Amino acid sequence: MTDASTTRIPVTVLTGYLGAGKTTLLNRILTEDHGKRYAVIVNEFGEIGIDNDLVVGADEEVFEMNNGCVCCTVRGDLIRVVSGLMKRKGGFDAIIVETTGLADPGPVAQTFFVDDDVRARTRLDSVTTVVDAKHLPLRLADSKEAVEQIAFADQILLNKTDLVTPAELKAVEAQIRRINPLAPIHYTQRSAVPLDAILGRGGFDLDRITELEPEFLNPAHGEAGHVHDEHCDDHGHDHHHHDHHDHAAHDHVAEAGIRGVSLTFEKPLDGIKVTNWLNQLLQDKGPDILRAKGILDVKGESRRLVFQAVHMILEGDFQREWKAGEPRYSRMVFIGRDLDEAALKAGFEGCVA
């Protein structure tokens, strides 16, 4: 059809608690010399001082959809604002949505999958969560939203690293990893990060699911069992350091019950069985499963089956060929609330061909 319908405008969602550094990051994105024009959607009571031509206030109205899916909520204001913005032909190249500190990122993300018009014109590039290294343990202890924002993230800016000791930083990293083992962490001060590292991620793009290497398979820096690789510049590790903050907050994260579960299986799967199982799982547990991703080895198929899910919204497709000599495996990562790892494992392995 037309150009407008084939080039979808990328959307970056910025979440994070008040004071974490979201607005600083937003202004960095807007003021850096990249020649791109952004439309910025902010909460109507949001922080002021955004330097941009096109700033739209939104109400953060979360609407339930009448489609029999209890977790299927969307941001009604975003649907309206995005369709209004599309009337400004060629006025901008990308959209940034800044949420309030208390926002649940779920409805924001789902808006870009549930509404056909929004989906036809935009593409969710990432949910980027900014967290404050100093105050995150407290936030995780007192706020369910802070946990959800990390759980939903495609990438995390661990900001204000200059305000904590190396040991505190390790503890915070470990907390993040327990909740979200997939999102890369950018360590920043004053939200300074190269923009090409955080924009254009394709965080919901099936083609970009190249590998799933959950970080919790590798214990965090400074924790027992951590395997050093070229990415670790910290060799002054302290295996026995324990931080009181860390312990206290861990318990609260446990109360929120959100964590990541990674499952790997070496035997080829039955394509129909695994599809049915995933559909049923998301139907039953969708409200509790925030994000899921997977790469699957399906018997009789030379290509990798990849999927990603936001609550009950599941997208899957065959992707590239397995390469000759490449070890074949199936791996799924679920990030969710009160996940029953044993049941997930049994269901997954029950899909063996």
Residues of the shown chain interacting with other proteins in the complex, contacts defined by CB under 8 A: 1-2, 4-5, 56-57, 59, 61, 63-67, 74, 76-77, 79-81, 84, 86-89, 115-117
Where are any strands of DSSP class E within the chain?
9-15, 38-43, 54-58, 62-64, 73-75, 94-98, 122-132, 155-159, 185-187, 258-265, 289-296, 303-310, 313-321, 330-337
Paired tokens of 188: 């920043």
Q: How far is the CB of 168 from other proteins (least distance, A)?
A: 41
Q: How far is CA 72 from the centre of its chain?
A: 17
Nearer of residues 114 and 258 to other proteins, judged by Cβ = 114
Q: How far is the CB of 83 from other proteins (least distance, A)?
A: 9
State the Cα–Cα distance between residues 281 and 248, nearest whole angstrom.
32
Nearer of residues 121 and 123 to other proteins, judged by Cβ = 121
Q: How far is the CB of 41 from other proteins (least distance, A)?
A: 12
Q: How far is the CB of 4 from other proteins (least distance, A)?
A: 6
Nearer of residues 65 and 185 to other proteins, judged by Cβ = 65
Q: How far is the CB of 114 from other proteins (least distance, A)?
A: 9
Nearer of residues 106 and 268 to other proteins, judged by Cβ = 106
Give the pairing type, strands 54-58 and 9-15.
unpaired
Q: How far is the CB of 311 from other proteins (least distance, A)?
A: 17
Paired tokens of 325: 């000599």
* Contact partners, residue 127, CB within 8 Å, separation at least 6: 13, 15, 105, 108, 109, 152, 153, 154, 203
Structure letter (DSSP) for residue 352: B
* Distance from the first to the final alpha carbon of the chain: 40
Nearer of residues 58 and 199 to other proteins, judged by Cβ = 58
Nearer of residues 84 and 184 to other proteins, judged by Cβ = 84
**Helix (H/G/I), strand (E/B), else coil: 292:** strand
